[in-house]
Chains A and B, each alone.
Chain A
Amino acid sequence: MYTKKRCVAMLLAGGQGSRLYALTKNVAKPAVPYGGKYRLIDFPLSNCTNSGIDTVGVLTQYQPLVLNEYIGNGQPWDLDKMNGGVHVLPPYETQAGASWYEGTANAIYQNMRFIERYDPEYVVVLGGDHIYKMDYSKMVDFHVANNADCTISVIDVPRSEASRFGIMICDENNKVTDFVEKPKEPKSTLASMGIYVFSWDKLRKYLIENENEANAKRDAGQPWSKDFGKDIITSMLRDGQRLYAYEFEGYWKDVGTLDSLWEANMDLLSPSVPLDLYDPSWKIYSRNSNMPPQYIGDNANIENSMISEGSEIDGTVDFSILFSGVTIEEGATVNYSIVMPGTVIKSGAVIEYAIVGSDSVIESGAHIGKSPEQVENRDDWGIAVVGHNVTVSENKVVEPKQIIGESI
């Protein structure tokens, strides 16, 4: 017996996140650590809970071990419900055979039975790799008020960046008239945030249509795809369905690349960035590591940084984000960097403009990254990255832009 839910959320968490390289070698992108004590998926899951959405399907595919373990029964997000709650939905085998998720639309198509159990009016489709706080219930209200078939949340981006996004062209009532994926010459600056509200009957219809059409094309040897932006939205526009753009005002950051992941962390240290992790009315929940408070030693020198539980800091930390259980020894320096859980930075090591993955060891005298000023040609500069469970031995140097996935 399943009670009817007004809204079910489907969270697309199967992507590989290949542009995060060493950081997603063994973990799915939504499980990548962020912000001192979170993982990326904490943001959409917490947003769901805070928005009153208590039924969430998480579609996983790539390297799901850490992500599955992290989500568990959903209790940290209050999503351990008798009816509803969070459910991890991996690809599965049927009598007709087994197939991986063949695109974002196909992932939801394969889990239509999950959605139908709750007989929802609306389905909210979310990504697992964006940092933002958003009340989805307001977006659903907007969807209902416009009698829309699909509502896409958009954010106004600088014109110079618009060609990186899916761009919505709207009329004066926010009705979407056209959609262009990564246009060379953007006609609007309203970028899709990858957050959709669909009326379930409409989504269902288009998922089935897309599936059948794409399979027919495949059988005929033609190019095919089963994708939300590319196929579902395009078909709905073609058929004159009511698509609306919901303009979001607030902090939103795509963390698809190493640079943007680093920036999104640094944003937390900027007083001008409107992402408040300390607002008791909209907490971002995470699975807790049960560690004692952080200890700051006699020799520590910490400014403008965020540090989490279980860390022991006796070195110099400036403009950095340190996760739980990090050790910074006396005489070590960490500037403009992110150090993920359980990592040890030994005395005399220097970390600058870098991301160091979890449970790694940076031996003394090692030097990771450089500041942009120290690099002659600005094009040679970028974030230095050390992956998870990596040892960088004494006096080794990791240059800007270098990515270290194995111990050196």
Chain B
Amino acid sequence: MSVNYNVLGLIFASMHDSYVSELTKQRTMGSIPFGGRYRLIDFPLSNMVNSSVAEVGVITKSNYGSLLDHLGSGRDWDLARKKGGLHLLPPYSQTGGIYKGRLDALNNIWSFVEHSNAKYVILSNCDIVANIDFNPVLRQHIDTGADITLIHSRCYYDSEKASCATLLKFDEENHLADVLVDPQISGECSMWLEMMIVTKDFLKSIVFDAASRNLSSFTREILQGRRDEFKILGYEHKDFFTRIDSVQSYYLANMLLLDSEKRSALFKKHLPVYTKIGDNGPAKYGLESKVSNSLIADGCIIEGTVENSILFRGVKVGKGSVVKNSVLLQSTAVGSKCSISSVITDKNVVISNEKVLTGSESYPLYISKDGKI
């Protein structure tokens, strides 16, 4: 089947904005640039499109100007459709003000969900980057007759380094047995990728029930509070994922893409990641340029040295400059004879000639949007 009208996609574009407050000052989680030419929302959105999902709603919260600009009509994801397509869902709560938790948000947009003929709903956040085919998850969900299927991955969890992760435990029959939020433990565990498939009628019943009781947190009220009442199963994603919960993890997540295995796990030929098209020229390497172990997007003009770095679209590195272990977002301009090491520059940062900027890999130096140095 090339288009599946039986599933509706919902993306929470603003979940966990506060984890990366530097990067979300002028944007929301979903519109954080990632991996040289993407925004975080490109990953869940492409996963849905590649899984034949025909209709996707994007639930926004605050600072969503850049998100709207990025998504436009949804054309670049092939979601500018008459039947189905992309729908941007504004954040206002029926009870006044901006919604609180996931259940409250769903209650506000329920009329959108209701009008869809889909029987199942795929929900995803934007702060976990992975390339997942939802079709096998959906098959398992249907075959088992589950109410909720949670997608999780095995990983090493270190409470010192991660914040606010949800860890799951399943019994031998794959039923949800325990849920820990932000636990003070370290070790091998199953982490919830904050993606799930829920049967629509079931979702409606829990959303309406929560609204009537003024409850808003899905994790607390449903996964923790009522897991014995419902059929909540797990689906293990055995491939690459990375979670962004701080500026440092954002930096490291970008750096992971320099590993060819992880890169090919995230960018698969048959499951491409779509993004807004920039129509930049190819990257240009000047005389005496020296580039190694780096990810370079189109439109870059490199005349200096670049090592172990991620350069987004339209970055310029001048003559005699050395950029190491850094993440330079779109249109960063590094002058000549600069030395940049372990730095994240946000969009349109200008670094004038002969500047030296040094962060450390455990604490990269972040320079905010439009900054001039």
Contacts and interface: CB of A to CB of B under 8 A. Distances in A.
B279 A285 contact: yes
A76 B295 contact: no
Nearest to B266: A292
B37 A304 contact: no
B293 A292 contact: no
Interface string B254-284: 0000101001001100001111010111111
Contacts of B274: 290
B35 interface: yes
A296 B296 contact: yes
B321 to A, nearest CB: 16
Interface stretch (A14-22, A146-154, A246-254, A306-314): A306-314
Most chain B CB atoms below 10 A, which of A76, A278, A321 = A278
Nearest to A285: B279
Contacts of B272: 290-291
Interface residues of B, number: 40
A37 B296 CA distance: 15
Nearest to A75: B75
Given A300-B292, A306-B285, A290 B279 contact: no
A88 interface: no
Contact of B293 (A278, A296, A307): A296
A308 B298 contact: yes
Given A35-B282, A278-B281, A306-B282, A294 B295 contact: yes
Interface in A31-87: 35-37, 75-76
Interface string A310-353: 00100001000110000000000000000000000000000000
A296 B279 contact: no
Contact of A278 (B258, B263, B286, B299): B299
Given A292-B35, A303-B286, A304-B286, A36 B296 contact: no
Contacts of A291: 267, 272
Contacts of A297: 292-293
A75 B299 CA distance: 21
A305 B281 CA distance: 12
Interface string B284-324: 11111111111111110100001000110010000000000
Interface SS of B by simple majority = loop
B75 A292 contact: no
Contacts of B288: 303
A286 to B, nearest CB: 7
A367 to B, nearest CB: 24
A100 interface: no
Given A290-B274, A292-B35, A292-B267, A306 B283 contact: yes
A36 B280 CA distance: 11
Contacts of A294: 283, 295-297
A288 B313 CA distance: 14
B30 interface: no
B28 to A, nearest CB: 23
B74 to A, nearest CB: 13
A283 interface: yes
A284 B272 CA distance: 24
A299 B281 CA distance: 25
B144 to A, nearest CB: 34
Contact of A303 (B280, B285, B295): B285
Contacts of B290: 301
B69 to A, nearest CB: 16
A295 interface: yes
A297 B266 CA distance: 18
Contacts of A302: 285, 289, 291
A295 B308 CA distance: 10
B238 to A, nearest CB: 21
Nearest to A304: B287
A293 B37 contact: yes
A300 B301 CA distance: 17
Contacts of A308: 282-283, 298
Given A37-B298, A296-B293, A296-B294, A286 B283 contact: no
A309 B287 CA distance: 20
B36 interface: yes
Contacts of A376: none
Most chain A CB atoms below 10 A, which of B286, B289, B292, B298 = B298
Nearest to A42: B279
A322 B296 CA distance: 14
B282 A300 contact: no
A277 interface: yes
Nearest to A320: B285
19 contacts: A36-B281, A277-B281, A278-B284, A285-B279, A290-B273, A290-B274, A291-B272, A292-B273, A292-B295, A294-B295, A294-B297, A295-B294, A296-B296, A303-B285, A304-B287, A304-B289, A306-B283, A307-B282, A307-B283
3 residue pairs, one from A and one from B, having the closest CB atoms? A36-B282, A277-B281, A293-B36
